[in-house]
Each structure stands twice: as structure tokens, then as C-alpha cells.
Amino acid sequence: MVAGARAPRVHLWQVGCQMNTADTEALAEQFAEIGLWPGAALEDADLAVLVTCAVRQHAEDKAAGRLGELAKWKLARPGRAIALTGCMAAEHGGTLFARFPQLDYVFDVRDADGFMARLRDLYGGAVEGPVPLPAGDRLSAYVPVIHGCNEMCTYCIVPFVRGRERSRGVQEVVAQVGRLVEGGVVEVTLLGQNVNSYHDPNTGTDLAGLMAAVDGVPGLRRQRFLTSHPRNASAALLAAIRELPTACEHLHLPVQSGSDSCLRRMKREYTLREYRLVLDDARRVVPEIALSTDIIVGFCGETEAEFEGTMSLLREVEFDTVHVQAYSPRPGTAAHRRPDDVPPAEKKARLQAVLSLQRQISERRNRSLLGRTVEVLVEGRGAEDGRPYGRTRQNRVTWLERAAIPGSVVHATVIDATAWQLTAA
């Protein structure tokens, strides 16, 4: 591989969840440490790295499509190479080389030392030492606090590709948040596939305790956490949201289905009654809390009546936002052994029904804020008109009709609202 006199350049491409975003950022730092420049555009790059997702077939298809484009990119200049990591690497491993002959490396994102050592040998003389990364202008950062998942939801591949739960220590997390804040970050999102099963490996401190420790980091303005499992919802967590000044009033609590029979087939380990009680508690303890959820439509055997259960749950709860996906069978999961028997057209119709119902609900909820004061963390300015925008504590995107500096926290009155965003002045 010929890289010339300059540091070899890496182009990072990513799909999937927030955990992949955090992994991609950590990879960029590892590349910089060994002397590779990780911020390259594809056309300037010597090495392309794909950080992949396997949660639905669509995510895998995106990576396959990208690999198709990269085959041409690789041929256009000698010495170029392609590496794949992330959840498809964990799922398919070395079998990917037969499917994608253009691929040079497949590596484990959690154990990248061996891969980094190979790159160091390969680029040899072209590598002069750590490449300084430009000071980030990042205001928000993702901080993984627990890896893996011990649940076994029957549709889900995550436990297979991410392994068993492993929590990081409170001190380690607090130290990382401290470094991020020194670098200009004012908001962190504590991450885990099942974040509310977090426990410090030594002291047993739970997520509420971790949040209290993170709250003590001077200079931090906001903290959030993703993704909670309904069966680990605790009174202590709701109390933490209410009490801690940095804790934002937002709970993302995936329900997946509004039918008990479907939830049983999904092995979600809670009933709708229990789920509703958690939401009732959340709204009682933190009245201004925003609630969001994930829904799967067209799961194996989902009847018209079961789907109607989901629609009526959405009408009853009135979530602020809903992420909906059509069921996608994943090889190796328990549900893969059941027939995927809801026809594609029906899945699509159910998906559209959820989207259109939720659009009305989100719009109504946002419009109920007209005239109210919201706290906005200003994140940037619109590319076209330079208007400042940011998010409220409830995570609503808000455009400001007045001057405000990114990084500042302002209070503004809501003057307009759609299903997707607020305007405040």
C-alpha cells in the first residue's frame, strides 16, 4: 500500500444506532493515535472503514450497497483498502470475504488492537506518530455506560452481536464525561441497549446513582440516557430525573406492541398493564416529561386485532415521538423459526397507519406548548438562513427567532409548532 509522504487517510462510514456513533468516534481516536488521519472524504481516502448494523435486513443492504460502490473506488487508485466492522462483522465474521471480494479486513470494533497493529505494519514509514485531531466543536456526546444485552427479545439480533451486559465503573464514566466537558461538551447521553440495567461492577451503583455522579461534573448542562427496558423501570430513576438539575425530562421506553399476546411472542417480559403503570408513574413524578417509544409492526402472527391494540395504545398514551419499523426476520433469532406471515403490503399499511396517527398526536402535543417558555440548548445555526436551533430539555427540536450563540442555554416562548419542531422567540 502506497500512501505517500502524508499520513494515510481514513474515511469512516456509519449506520445503525447511537452505540455505533460512539464506536465510530472511539475508532477515529484510535486511528489518530497510530498516525492515520480519520477525517477524510472518500475521494481522498486510502482506507474506507464501514461501521455496520444488523438489526434489520435494510441496514445490511445499505452496507452491501456501499461495498458495491467501494469496489470501483478501490480500483480507481492502487493501494486503497476496505475494512468492515460493527454488528455485521460480529454476525458474519470471515464469511464476508467470500461475499464481498473487494473487502480487505473484517475486525471487532471492541477489540481493534490487532487490526490497528496490522495497519501500523502495513503503512510503516508513512506513519509518523499521532495525528492531532482538530479541537471538536461538539456540544453533545454519547457515552456508552453498559455494553451488550441480556434480554432475549425473540425478534432481536443485538444480544448475538453485542454479547452479554458489561457495565463500566462509575469513576471511569465520570472521568470520561469530565474530559468531554473540558473539550467543550455540555450535554451527554448515557448509552446502553438496556441502559437501566446498569450496575457498577464493583459497588453495584445503579443508573440513578451513576446519573447523580455525572450530575456533579462541573460545567455539564444536560444529561440523557438511552435505551431503557420497561421491566427495569425504577422509582429511583424517575426521582433522579426529577431531582438532578442536569437530568433532562425525557424517557424513551420502547413498548414494541400494544397487545399482550404479541408481547409474549416477542418475549418482552412485561404486560401492557405493567407498561402503563410505568408511564403513569413517570407522568406523576415528572409532570413535564416527554415520552417516546419504539414500535414493531407486522411481527410474526400479528393479527388485525393485535395491531389495533398498538393503535389504541398510541391513542391512549399520546407519546411525543414514536419510532416505528416493519418486522424484519433475523437469522439465528428465535422468531426466525416462526413464519414471517404478515404480507409486505400489510406491513407497509400498518407502518403508514402508525405514522399518520402519530403525526397528528405529535402535532397536537407540540401545539399545546404554544405560548409556553422552553429551555433551549443552542446547538448550531441553519445552513441556509443562519437561524439558531437547538433542543428543549424534552428533546424537541426548536428554531429560534432571535440571536443566540451555540453552546448557550436560552429561555424562549413557543410561537409556532408542527409535528416535528417548535419555533420560539
Which residues contact ligand SAH by CB under 6 A? 55-56, 155-156, 158, 193-194, 227, 229, 254, 256, 294, 296, 325, 327-328, 330
* Shortest distance (Å) from residue 194 CB to ligand F3S: 11
From the list 53, 81, 127, 156, which residue makes contact with ligand SF4 (rule: CB under 6 A)?
A: 156
From the list 56, 74, 229, 350, which residue makes contact with ligand SF4 (rule: CB under 6 A)?
A: 229
In sequence order, what DSSP letters do the residues of 39-60 get, joined into one string? Answer: T--GGG-SEEEEEE--SSHHHH
252 binds, among ligand SAH, ligand F3S, ligand SF4, none (CB under 5 to 8 A by kind): none
Q: Which residues contact 184 (CB under 8 A, 6 or more apart)?
A: 135, 136, 137, 138, 139, 407
| Residue 159 is a binding residue for ligand SF4 (CB under 6 A) | yes
| Residue 53 is a binding residue for ligand F3S (CB under 6 A) | yes
- Let me know the angle formed at the C-alpha of 346 by 345 and 347, rounded to the nearest 5 degrees: 90
The CB density around residue 397, as the number of other CB atoms within 10 Å, is 14
| Residue 55 is a binding residue for ligand F3S (CB under 6 A) | yes
* Shortest distance (Å) from residue 193 CB to ligand F3S: 6
- Let me know the angle formed at the C-alpha of 139 by 135 and 143, rounded to the nearest 5 degrees: 95
Nearest to 40 by CA among 2, 13, 68, 75: 13
Strand partners, 105: 83
Q: Are 247 and 206 in contact (CB under 8 A)?
A: no
Q: How many residues does the chain have?
A: 425
- Identify which of residues 93 and 183 has a Cβ nearer to ligand F3S in the complex: 93
CA-CA-CA-CA torsion for 240, 245, 249, 251, nearest 10 degrees?
A: -40
Only segment of 25-33, 51-59, 257-265, 354-362 that touches ligand F3S (CB under 6 A): 51-59
Nearest to 201 by CA among 242, 270, 148: 148
| Residue 149 is a binding residue for ligand SF4 (CB under 6 A) | yes
From the list 17, 27, 89, 188, which residue makes contact with ligand F3S (rule: CB under 6 A)?
A: 17
Residue 125 in grid coordinates:
514509514
In sequence order, what DSSP letters do the residues of 195-250 get, joined into one string? Answer: GGG-B-TTT--BHHHHHHHHHTSTT--EEEEE---GGG--HHHHHHHHH-TTB-SE
| Residue 193 is a binding residue for ligand SF4 (CB under 6 A) | yes
Nearest to 208 by CA among 233, 181, 175, 177: 233
- Residue 311 CA to residue 313 CA, distance in Å, equals 5
Nearest to 163 by CA among 183, 147, 187: 147
Amino acid symbol at 157:
I
Q: Please report, as residue ranges, which positions from 273 to 292 form the binding site for ligand F3S (by CB under 6 A).
A: none
| Residue 269 is a binding residue for ligand SF4 (CB under 6 A) | no
* Shortest distance (Å) from residue 226 CB to ligand SAH: 8
159 binds, among ligand SF4, ligand F3S, ligand SAH, none (CB under 5 to 8 A by kind): ligand SF4
Q: Are 225 and 190 in contact (CB under 8 A)?
A: yes
From the list 7, 12, 19, 314, which residue makes contact with ligand F3S (rule: CB under 6 A)?
A: 19
- Identify which of residues 154 and 362 has a Cβ nearer to ligand SAH in the complex: 154
* Shortest distance (Å) from residue 191 CB to ligand SAH: 10
Only segment of 126-134, 153-161, 328-336, 337-345 that touches ligand F3S (CB under 6 A): 153-161
* Shortest distance (Å) from residue 324 CB to ligand SF4: 14
Residue least distant from ligand F3S (Cβ): 16
From the list 45, 50, 103, 158, which residue makes contact with ligand SF4 (rule: CB under 6 A)?
A: 158
- Identify which of residues 85 and 193 has a Cβ nearer to ligand SF4 in the complex: 193
Only segment of 16-24, 42-50, 73-81, 227-235 that touches ligand F3S (CB under 6 A): 16-24
- Residue 400 CA to residue 425 CA, distance in Å, equals 6
Residues that bind ligand F3S (CB under 6 A): 16-17, 19-20, 53-55, 86-87, 157-158, 161-162
Residues that bind ligand SF4 (CB under 6 A): 149, 151, 153, 156, 158-159, 193-194, 229
